[in-house]
Structure 1
Amino acid sequence: MQLANKKLDWDQFLQIRQEVINSWPTGQEADLADGVAYQAQLPAKLRFAEKLEQAKQEGITLAQPRAGVALVHEHIELLRYLVDEGGADLLPTTIDSYTRQNRYNEAQAGIEESRTVGRSMLNGFPAVNHGLAACRQVVEAMSVPVQVRHGTPDARLLAEITLAGGFTAYEGGGISYNIPYAKDVPLERSIRDWQYVDRLVGYYEEQGISINREPFGPLTGTLVPPSISHSVAIVEALLAAEQGVRSITVGYGQCGNLIQDVAAIRSLEELAEEYLNRFGYQDVVLTTVFHQWMGGFPQDESKAFGVISWGAATAALAKATKVIVKTPHEAMGVPTKEANAAGIRATKQVLNMLKDQTMPETKELAAEVELIKAETRSILDRLLEFGEGDVAVGAVRAFQAGIIDVPFAPSRYNAGKILPARDYRGAVRLLDFGNLPFSEEIKDVHREKIGQRGKLEGRDPSFQMVIDDIYAIGKGMLVGKPR
């Protein structure tokens, strides 16, 4: 099957579907008609897309944590705790690493070991192994909507089971859940597999069931320039919309500079609307998500709360529709439910304090918005040129040519030539542009700002700046200045 950004033929979809649902025994439980009927009877309070749309209309920011454990009853207990004690507005079901790699035998072994030792031996919820009834048990036990969050290049079976199981939102995409997560998965294959997922979501939409889809915004999570993550998010939004998805949340991971982060969320929403309209997808409900800092955290809990609160403040001032919340245990591994709830409470306090405040309009903010837009359009327009107007073909060719390049990604299908570093105010710029199709005018902005930092720090811009910046927040700073 030749790759193209074209809605999958339904007979072709059904043919692929037989192979998907036969790949693990619980796949047989996923019946399309039954899944639609189950979704249709869910109350409005459990519908993710509706809650996001309402938040957007009201101009408020919702708080959503990450969470997932191996056993059903413990997972339910954890999620309930995050609502009752943390005040979460939206819930996740984070999927375990074995399931993300379609290693269901090992996930089953993790379930059995968890039952034996009495605690979770997996870093998430193995939804495929637990199957349809368990997913519905989780959904029915909640008072707020639940989303599937994972990191899976081939998420087709997981989507079949969890959507039929009543989850009303699904994270990921063929680029954002491949390039940052896998080494040897061809991009063409993962885009095709995610076209299947989006066609499934589109089918539910055709039956009157709106499932929210969210490309994974932060990518590798550390020092990712906004134009890179924006380009991936918009490509994945276009791919999803072609398959019939009508509720899309585009995301961005916090970089740390307030002006740049607010400009990023603002430009992301405007650009996504622009490109969706350009390709005729005018009936999409578009919302935004801001991810609190995804890099290294301080080990000290009080300092960690400072990082969390800064992320909450930025999300509120940027007017993101939701914010993904981190915990004060980020530097120490999987957090306790108490730590997770504490991160949500800290976030909610800041969100509530700032919900009626807006970011002042300044020349600096406007300039940053325009810079991000110019960079993103440069990438996307060249991508479309490479794909001869087809965004799916263009994405594969653009990664081959380094037109899109994700810093620090493990994938061998990523060029890995660009080199980001902070400027003297902490905004993420580029030391090395690789093959990004930026104009000399754009490149000069980056060179000037990093050059200013070099002068202030008494050193030439170099790879050492990158290293210093990666570890800076964990050491209590934003910009990695030399001692």
Structure 2
Amino acid sequence: MSTGPSPAAVPASPFGRFVAEAAAGGRLVVQPRMGFGDPGLMRHGLERTRFAAATTVGTLTLDSYTRLGDHAAVRRALRAGLPLNGYPLVDLPAGRTRRLLDGLLGPDFPVQVRHGSARPTAIVKAMTRAGLDATEGGPVSYCLPYGRTPLRESVDHWARACELLTRLVPAPRLPHLETFGGCLLGQLCPPALLVAVSVLEALFFTQHGIRSVSLSYAQQTHPGQDEDALLALRQLAARFLPPGTDWHLVLYTYMGVFPRTGTGARRLLEDSARLAVRTGVERLVVKTAAEAHRIPSVAENVGALESAGTAAELAAARQRDGRTARPVPPADSEVHAEARALVEAVLSLSPDVGLALRTAFAHGLLDVPYCLHPDNAGRARSVVDASGRLRWSSVGAMPLTADGPPGGHEVMTSAGLLTALNSVALRYDR
């Protein structure tokens, strides 16, 4: 797998170094979204993840109260012994989390904190007190899809979080920060916008002192279009990220409506692993067959990791044997051209990436389809064409050209929206 700068070229975070070394050995790193409110169960989940039959990193996914900053609700739940839908990192003593991680966290098993918060400073303080140095999110991607926090506030909070990470993670370790920008709303977002926001959030991180980053992309509706998107993401990261940045790419298994059958879910997961291998992605965040019904168990998470790991190993072996070839990046694919146009339009607004992002959304130069956040213009619309590709039917004020059926808002009826949202699940279940 090709990566960003080699481990020898620039300093790396423990998280970034682990991923780079796995990629150098031809291994795809697979990761769950796992999070449990009970520390004992959370430790069990990390143990099973570490010893799964795959190359894995661990995850502490936080509960939704913590994500929203409602710490009083977390404390009430803890006092009453009520279940939480994730790990309450901020409201448990740092020593309790250190004991949970003892004997697991290390160079051969880094752990990332995942949370979904537009105001992550308390989370950053808690994770660094517990000895953790890797997390993810972003000023756009953890604001627009997740609530109604003003974008201006999210940008300010995320700037503070980046600066805290660089100060609170003790040298010589570097913190690692993954942009969630490639996963906006999870579905029905044409790939160029996902690629552009991922690049822009990574630039925001580096501007605020982060030297080890990963750039995300969520699997969409068409494998060929996804290949173009991941190749474009690598090209644009290499072009725009500052020299000396340690970086890699992370792919998310499809984040929209998931197949309801075990067979369909497994096929979709394995296809995402093969997509990662074809495009040289270094890390894959998986979903499980239980996603359509409930929060998955530890065993279901481990099963998904091992299925993805096996599919990746087989795909890599076929590539090494010459039975399949890695796609060659086109000189300028449609996704690459659109994403580059968006990135350059935003960066032309201000040398301050945070200010540029706020200005871009205020003017509709970035516009997320079907996103109801007050700071999103809401004029862009997308459709899934007959081939399964995501197309723009309306681009609003973005510097792009609509390439789907004309009419924008009128094209996607409520029935059509439901059909599009369920198209991938239905295809795999059949």
Instruction: Mark yes or no: TM-score above 0.5.
Output: yes
In the TM superposition, residue 215 of structure 1 has moved relative to its aligned partner by 0.8
Aligned-partner SS, 1:330: coil
Equivalence for 1:424? 386
396-405 vs 287-296, greater mean Cα deviation = 396-405
- 1:405 aligned partner: 367
Structure 1 unaligned spans of 5+: 1-45, 452-459
Letter of the structure 1 residue corresponding to residue 427 of structure 2:
G
**Residue 112 of structure 1 aligns to which amino acid in structure 2?**
R
1:477, distance to aligned residue in structure 2 (A): 5.1
Question: Aligned to 2:396, which of 434, 439, 442?
Answer: 434
Higher RCO (C-alpha 8 Å, min separation 6) = 2
Rounded to whole Å, the distance in 1 between the matches of 2:240 and 2:202 is 9
Looking at structure 1, the residues matched to 170 and 379 of structure 2 have their Cα atoms a distance apart, in angstroms, of 42
Q: Distance in 1 between matches of 2:204 and 2:327?
A: 35
Corresponding residue SS for 1:476:
helix
The 1:470–1:53 alpha-carbon spacing in structure 2 relative to 1, beyond 3 Å, is same
Q: Indicate how the Cα distance of structure 1 residues 245 and 478 shifts in structure 2: closer, same or farther if over 3 A, else same.
A: farther
Normalised by the length of structure 1, the TM-score is 0.79
The alignment's TM-score, normalised by the length of structure 2, stands at: 0.88
- Which residues of 2 match residues 258-269 of structure 1 at below 5 A? 258-269=223-234
Amino acid at match of 1:268: L
Matched, 1:353 2:314: yes
Equivalent residue letter for 1:472: S
Q: 2:343 matched to which residue of 1?
A: 380
* Residue 122 to residue 205, structure 1, CA distance change in 2 (3 Å): closer
Which whole-Å deviations, capped at 9, do the CAs of 1:407-427 have from their partners, x for residues lacking one?
A: 232421111221112222212
What are the superposed Cα offsets for residues 396-449 of structure 1, whole Å, 9 maximum, x if unpaired?
Answer: 0111111111223242111122111222221211111122111x5xx4xx23xx
Q: Deviations over 1:350-369 (max 9, x none)?
A: 01101244564668x627x5
In structure 2, relative to structure 1, the CA distance for the partners of 1:357 and 1:466 (3 Å cut) is farther
> Which of 412, 419, 423 pairs up with 1:472?
423
Q: Cα distance 1:264–1:104, how it changes in 2: closer, same or farther (>3 A)?
A: same
Q: Which amino acid aligns with 2:74?
A: A
Asked if the contact 1:405/1:416 (under 8 Å) is kept, the reply is yes
Find the aligned partners of 2:31 and 2:138 in 1 and give their Cα distance. 19
- The 1-side partners of 2:283 and 2:368 are apart by 24
- On the 8 A contact 2:221/2:424 being kept in 1, the answer is no
Which among 317, 325, 333 is matched to residue 286 of structure 2? 325
Query: 1:423 and 1:432 mapped to 2: Cα distance?
Result: 14
2:136 matches 1:174: no
Aligned amino acid, residue 98 of structure 1: Y
Task: State the Cα distance separating 1:168 from its structure 2 match.
Answer: 2.7
Q: Does 1:196 align with 2:163?
A: no
Once residues 97 and 374 of structure 1 are traced to their aligned partners in structure 2, the CA distance between those partners, rounded to angstroms, is 37
C-alpha contact 1:70 1:110 (8 A) present in aligned 2: no
Aligned-pair CA distance for 1:154:
0.4
Map 1:251-330 to 2 at 5 A.
Answer: 251-276=216-241, 281-330=242-291
SS at match of 1:403: coil
Counterpart of 1:104 in structure 2 is 71
Per-residue deviation, residues 305-340 of structure 1 (Å, max 9, x unmatched): 111111111112111110001000010020111211
Residues 95 and 150, structure 1, Cα contact 8 Å, conserved in 2: yes
Measured in 1, the distance between the counterparts of 2:289 and 2:205 equals: 34
Aligned to 2:6: none
* Structure 2: gaps (5+ residues): 1-12
Paired amino acid for 2:223? L
Is the partner of 2:155 in helix, strand or coil?
helix
Other-structure match for 1:215: 179
1:186 is aligned to: 150
The answer as to 2:24 corresponding to 1:57 is yes
Larger Rg, first or second structure (1 or 2): 1
Contact 1:299 1:331 in 2 (8 A): yes
Shift of 1:201: 2.3
The percentage of aligned residue pairs carrying the same residue is 25
Q: Answer whether contact 2:16 2:247 (CA < 8 A) is retained.
A: no
Are residue 159 (structure 1) and residue 124 (structure 2) matched?
yes
- Alpha carbons of structure 1 residues 88 and 336: separation in structure 2 relative to 1, 3 Å: farther
Distance in 2, matches of 1:164 and 1:339, equals: 30
CA shift in 2, pair 1:366/1:424, >3 Å: farther
Q: Distance in 2 between matches of 1:48 and 1:266?
A: 23
Distance 1:362 1:75 in 2: 39
CA RMSD of aligned residues (A): 2.4
Tell me the alpha carbon deviations over residues 241-271 of structure 1, each in whole angstroms, 9 at most, x when there is no partner. 1222111000000013221112211111210
Partner of 1:35: none
- In structure 2, give the amino acid aligned to 1:355: A
2:138–2:201 CA contact under 8 A, matched in 1: yes
Number of equivalent positions: 406
- Mapped contact 1:469–1:478 kept (Cα < 8 A): no
Say if 1:222 and 1:300 are closer, same or farther in 2 by CA, change over 3 A: same
Other-structure match for 1:134 = 96
Letter in 2 for 1:436: M
Question: Which AA in structure 2 matches 1:211?
Answer: P
